[in-house]
Chain A
Amino acid sequence: MRLNDVWKSSNRSLIRELVVSDFKLRYQNSVLGYLWSLLRPMMLFGVLYVVFTYVIKVGRGVPYYPSYLLLGIVLWTFFIESTISGMNAITGRGDLVRKVSIPKYAIVVSTTMSAFVNLCLNMVVVVAFMIFSHVPFRPTILIAPLFIGELMVLSMGVSFLLAALFVKYRDFSHIWEVILQVLFYATPIIYPLTLPPLKIAKWMSISPLTQIFQDVRSLMITPQTLTTKEVFDSQVGRIIPILIVIFVAIVGGLYFRARSRYFAEDL
């Protein structure tokens, strides 16, 4: 894989076709079709909303908590969807890997892009919900895609790493499931970052997921969101998670590239 190959139009066509056919296939033979990709996070949102506004009232201090919660769930859904499908990308497409010499990274990228398509659809729901909840629109919303881009880079890096590891060690599906469980509670998705004591909040803020979620929420929903920058009280605080993202992307990419020559034989 040479870097300029990434921009070759045939490779872009390949990624595009893989994403398009994946999208068409996913909801084939289901009555509601792609509405399911909207319904799933909506249902999770419904359950969590009831639990966390009426039973465990963690969201009381947060303005527009429903939108805040929904946005967190949608971003989280993207992360788990893209990393799980990314992990399965190579093993799941053994038919391609074993019989044709295509750029393997395209298969992983296509799974991230598939998840991204769903994220975009879900974002439409988020925006609709924001309008419905009278969340004031601020121009900062235009900066939000920057951090969503950061989330994509993170997901892709993790996907590359997991995809390559999973070819050799099938344990990673279980390991990653556990890690996702931990991350779900270690990231302020259902509760605000103001809830844990500051010392713990600082540790949590090192996580790129926390930084991204809080930054996107702060830009889209309410500036009162506690962001990593505020937790550490300086821009430098934001640098650590961004460096982690870059590190994960580079390590994942390099490991994947080194292993990809042998995928056909290891599968």
Chain B
Amino acid sequence: MSEDIALSIRHLHKKFRLPHERKNSLKERVIHFSKPTYETLHVLNDINLEIKRGEFFGIVGRNGSGKSTLLKIIGGIYQPTSGHIQVNGTLTPFIELGIGFNPELTGRENVFLNGAILGLTRKEIIQKYQEIVDFAELEKFMDQRIKNYSSGMQVRLAFSIAMQAHNDILLIDEVLAVGDASFQRKCFEKFRQIKKSGKTIIFVTHDMGAVQEFCDRAMMIQDSRVISVGEPRGIALRYELANARNSASDEETTQLIRPQSPAIKIADLKLLANSKQTRRFSIKDDIDAEITLDVRQPTATQINMYFLKADGTYLAGINSTNELGDEYTPSKGTHKLRCHISAGQFVKGDYRIGIGLYTPGYVPEIIDILDASYGSKDLDITFVDKSLYKDGTFYIKGEWSKRGDL
């Protein structure tokens, strides 16, 4: 494994054998003489992953998708059923804050206990004690039992200790759900510092805002498999789409369902080049997307038009909040909007577009959506370019020139 890879996972599988009726005693073993029957649960199915040193890597997925199991295997708490996992450097052995915290002990005593559980020696804890207390801002409370702490204070203390654990790779599972906004900011500030010092952070969360703001890369796990690895914005969108599907229908269908009678409906979409409707563009064309909104109930919304690769990878989106404001609220009736996209930003190839109306905020809900994965058709577009000199994923603006022969 090369030096700049912090963690490499190859063909990792994890199966849990769940006995149909838990036989936890000898009596049951003896009475039910027949072999116990098991149900095998395939929790992680062929996970492959490489995380680079110094990366801030997010793992998202719904409850039960297997992401916490993956984190536990990375942390050495569970054993993989098969596959390889290689860790370059030391790893925080914990996935939760404040493990072993005892409410009956004082803050000070818990620092020593929790620190020891995280692998610090007593000497190291004594050295770092003041720093821990200062960061947690709990100087006056250290001799009180932590059962008298607020949950925010407990998390602050736990976080401060955890940050002192020495390791190259930090595993964090949903820790920032508690604590006030200013402390959360402080935590992320600390993460940035840790990242700057060359350490790797693996972060499991539901907070798409945090994923987009802090992660370099992210991964989405669904139904025990890696669905997508890549740029956080795209992963966050996929996650939101998957979530919206789930709230739309409890059944597991591969086809997402577009909201049935939304407050605002996207009634029509026209794509124009040079005022002519088309799905085939020259790379020199400006694109105008005209959408018609049928507003049944005035609702604040942000509109995102986005481009996907043919395989569904999210490429880029353009959000309406810049021009229309954070809380654009169209009145009842029909409205036309236009999104103008200047020429010269795409390379040749097949693309797919999508348009979503979302509620404002970091973790928006879908009001209405036009997207192939929601059953909408005719969203494929093509850019043609006869020349050969621009290819790849995005259009590089630039040119070559001669600087004289030497």
By a CB distance below 8 angstroms, the chain A residues around B104 are 25, 28-29
A14 at the interface (CB under 8 A from B): yes
**Judging by beta carbons under 8 Å apart, are B116 and A96 in contact?**
no
B388 at the interface (CB under 8 A from A): no
| Complex interface: stretch among B71-79, B294-302, B348-356 | B71-79
Size band of the A side of the interface? Answer: 20 to 34
B384 at the interface (CB under 8 A from A): no
By a CB distance below 8 angstroms, the chain B residues around A60 are none
Q: Write the nearest CB–CB distance from A147 to chain B, whole angstroms.
A: 31
B118 at the interface (CB under 8 A from A): yes
| Complex interface: stretch among A31-39, A205-213, A259-267 | A259-267
Q: How many angstroms from the CA of A171 to the CA of B125 in the assembled complex?
A: 40
B102 at the interface (CB under 8 A from A): yes
**Judging by beta carbons under 8 Å apart, are A169 and B117 in contact?**
no
Q: How many angstroms from the CA of A9 to the CA of B119 in the assembled complex?
A: 9
Q: Write the nearest CB–CB distance from A260 to chain B, whole angstroms.
A: 11
Q: How many angstroms from the CA of A257 to the CA of B119 in the assembled complex?
A: 20
**Judging by beta carbons under 8 Å apart, are A17 and B99 in contact?**
no
**Judging by beta carbons under 8 Å apart, are A100 and B72 in contact?**
no
For A266, the closest partner residue in chain B by CB is B24
Q: Write the nearest CB–CB distance from A235 to chain B, whole angstroms.
A: 40
**Judging by beta carbons under 8 Å apart, are B75 and A101 in contact?**
yes
B360 at the interface (CB under 8 A from A): no
Q: How many angstroms from the CA of A102 to the CA of B105 in the assembled complex?
A: 21
**Judging by beta carbons under 8 Å apart, are B96 and A99 in contact?**
yes
**Judging by beta carbons under 8 Å apart, are B116 and A10 in contact?**
yes
Q: Write the nearest CB–CB distance from A248 to chain B, whole angstroms.
A: 21
**Judging by beta carbons under 8 Å apart, are A102 and B27 in contact?**
no
Chain A window 168-190, contacts with chain B (Cβ cutoff 8 Å), 1 for yes, 0 for no? 11110000000000000000000
For A167, the closest partner residue in chain B by CB is B24
Chain A window 8-29, contacts with chain B (Cβ cutoff 8 Å), 1 for yes, 0 for no? 0110111011101100110011
**Judging by beta carbons under 8 Å apart, are A171 and B94 in contact?**
no
**Judging by beta carbons under 8 Å apart, are B96 and A261 in contact?**
no
A-B contacts, 22 of them at CB < 8 A, read A10-B121, A13-B116, A13-B120, A13-B121, A17-B115, A17-B117, A17-B122, A24-B105, A25-B105, A96-B99, A96-B100, A99-B99, A100-B100, A100-B117, A100-B118, A102-B93, A168-B24, A169-B24, A170-B25, A261-B79, A264-B72, A265-B78
On A, residues with C-beta under 8 Å from B are: 9-10, 12-14, 16-18, 20-21, 24-25, 28-29, 95-96, 98-102, 168-171, 261-262, 264-265
- List 19 additional A-B contacts (Cβ < 8 Å) besides A101-B77, A265-B78: A13-B122, A13-B125, A14-B117, A14-B119, A17-B122, A24-B109, A99-B77, A99-B99, A100-B75, A100-B95, A100-B100, A101-B75, A101-B94, A102-B117, A169-B24, A171-B26, A171-B27, A261-B79, A264-B78
On B, residues with C-beta under 8 Å from A are: 16, 24-27, 29, 72, 75-79, 93-96, 99-100, 102, 104-105, 109, 112-113, 115-123, 125
